[in-house]
Structure 1
Amino acid sequence: MEELPSVLWSYRTTPRSATQETPFSLTYGSEAVVPAELITPNPRMAAYAAEVNEEERRVDLDLAEEKRDMAAAKVAIYKNILTGYYNARVKHLRFSPGDLVLRKNSVSRAEPQEKLNPKWEGPYRVIESSQNGYCKLAYRDGSRVPRTWHAENLKLYYP
């Protein structure tokens, strides 16, 4: 419990990888002085002047909204980079008409979900498939399954 304030302080004063800014600077408009900087001499504390500091603080507060907007733009770019990184490893399933597939029982809920019940049901035949991964299915007798199904809820059936 005694360590919580110092842990929160370090979290708030550590730059985030997405924005390269600290949460403290995005909230208050300027960087925080770490307690260790008050004890040990450093160039930042040696250059401190009270008269100049007040003017620089006003400038920082005026630019705080712009700093937040830049951080939001950096977060959006960072998310796009991460999305591309993870999507590069995704294998998209494409089914063609005539393929035999099994359907997830948890999605279709054709049978009650009990421990020993099968996880997949079928086989079904793919009648149509679209570019975005949706398929129309048919039963073995040729009649259509009422809904369309996404490829993530289907898997190929090998008899």
Structure 2
Amino acid sequence: MSKARTNNPSASRALVINRLAISIHAVVNGYNRTYASLKAEKLVIVLTDYFSKWIEAESYASIKDAQVENFVWKHILCRHGIPYEIVTDNGSQFISTRFQGFCDKWGIRLSKSTPRYPQGNGQAEAANKTILDGLKKWLAAKKGSWSDELEGVLWSHRTTPRRATGETLFALVNGTECVIPAEMMVPSLR
């Protein structure tokens, strides 16, 4: 069986979502907890593109290699195409033979960041900080479960113009600005 594509980025069409960082964090009421201190808290998988800074995230009660595989399939491959590389920590979900086989099947290069040094994967840490800060702000204004507010935090992050480019992440990834719900009430050409 041949691979879906070669690991040569110049051999395939240019993708906006091409090099990704993935990590798992525990969040309780919008606050970060160490992975070792978990009992019944919820977990979040966070995946970030190095170039566009696009963030995909989803909450889970527990995370095994099957959930990571499904997350990458649903949030990256089906929406954005096959990335060139995914950078992970050395979590058991990422170094399992199942997930490595999944990446091999799709021709995705799997790289690991330095163990016990999370700052080595700075992109993932910056994305985690962005999500945690957003959750804290949303939960201060609203009472509820952080997992219910995660999509709103991601939407806000994706539709806010960046200082460096003046563009939203949505426009960088999709090539057009999104129509926000508030615009539906205003007559326009869009």
TM-score class, shorter-chain normalisation, is under 0.3
Asked which structure has the greater RCO (Cα within 8 Å, sep 6+), the reply is: 2
Q: TM-score, normalization: structure 1?
A: 0.26
Task: State which structure, 1 or 2, has the greater radius of gyration over its C-alpha atoms.
Answer: 1
Q: TM-score, normalization: structure 2?
A: 0.22
